[in-house]
A and B are shown apart, each in its own frame.
Chain A
Amino acid sequence: MNIELVLFGVFAVMTLLSAGLVITARSPINSAMALVSTFFFLAGIYVLLWAHTVAVIQVLVYAGAIMVLFLFVIMLLNLGDAPHRGKPTVTRLLGGASAAGLLAVLAVTLGRMDAQPARLDAQGQATFGTLAAIGQSIFTTWLLPFEAVSLLLLVAMVGAVVVAKSRI
């Protein structure tokens, strides 16, 4: 039995289970907690794909910063147990049908392709997915997009303050 396949199976099942909890949980807090565990299990999947750096960023940025923001807003709004009605049954059925349809199309298409991981040489194995290789790529070839993203984050920060503040 292949240990990599076993690990993938465990992480994949746990990811899908927690994602299911996110969309079915009644309270937003429970959804947020399930989302945190989804991010952690996805980080495990990323490690199996040799994307160690992205896995660490996933835990730091998603499971750390973004989820703190979500929890902060949930607690700030203090929604309580207001009686909330869901969407009408027709909408639920149509939503489920369209999601299932998209999944079926994607599964059939993906099932036809036989994609295997690339066989990397010794040099590729030493550098693939490392922080050094990604940093080299970002700060040389993709320097302009990187600066654009930093500008975007600044604009988002200022915009969030302006939108959320009641009076300036």
Chain B
Amino acid sequence: MVPITYYLLLAAALFCMGMFGVLVRTNALVVFMCVELMLNAVNLTFLAFARMHGNGLGHVSAFFVIAVAAAEAAIGLAIVIAVFRSRGTVNVDDIRTMKH
């Protein structure tokens, strides 16, 4: 049997890679994809702990996370389209109207 620790380490690595992508990428679409990576890392943690305790509750949580991720992707991409219509760019560094 594979120790649960390995799965948790894999999830931690995946989460950190997603976080790195969110911090350094400038294309809003790629930033969204990195957020999806982080959500998947969380799902993996839920499932690993469900297996560790032999409890199906983690599967229900993962199901809800996937549903919320779908809603997040729909809204986020709609916002990206709206911003691209009005500004003509999806570069997160160029979209700074609300910054100052």
Contacts and interface: CB of A to CB of B under 8 A. Distances in A.
B70 A153 contact: yes
A91 B37 contact: no
Contact of B26 (A87, A116, A128): A87
A74 B84 CA distance: 11
Contact of A76 (B12, B40, B73, B81): B81
Contact of A70 (B17, B32, B44, B57): B32
What secondary structure prevails in chain A residues at the interface with B? helix
Contacts of A10: none
B9 interface: yes
Nearest to A152: B71
Given A54-B59, A103-B16, A69 B44 contact: no
User: Chain B: interface residue count, which band?
Assistant: 35 or more
A20 to B, nearest CB: 7
Nearest to A98: B23
Contacts of B3: 114-117
Contacts, number: 242
Contact of A106 (B12, B77, B90): B12
A128 B48 CA distance: 13
Contacts of A116: 1, 3-4, 52
B82 A58 contact: no
A66 B35 CA distance: 13
Contacts of A57: 63, 66
7 contacts: A16-B13, A22-B30, A46-B44, A91-B24, A102-B15, A118-B52, A137-B60
Interface of A: 2, 4-5, 8, 12, 15-16, 19-20, 22-23, 25, 28, 31-32, 35, 38-39, 42, 45-46, 48-51, 53-54, 57-58, 61-62, 65-66, 69-70, 73-74, 76-77, 79, 84-87, 91-92, 94-96, 98-100, 102-103, 106-107, 110-111, 113-120, 124, 127-129, 133-134, 137-138, 142, 145, 149, 152-153, 155-157, 159-161, 163-164, 166
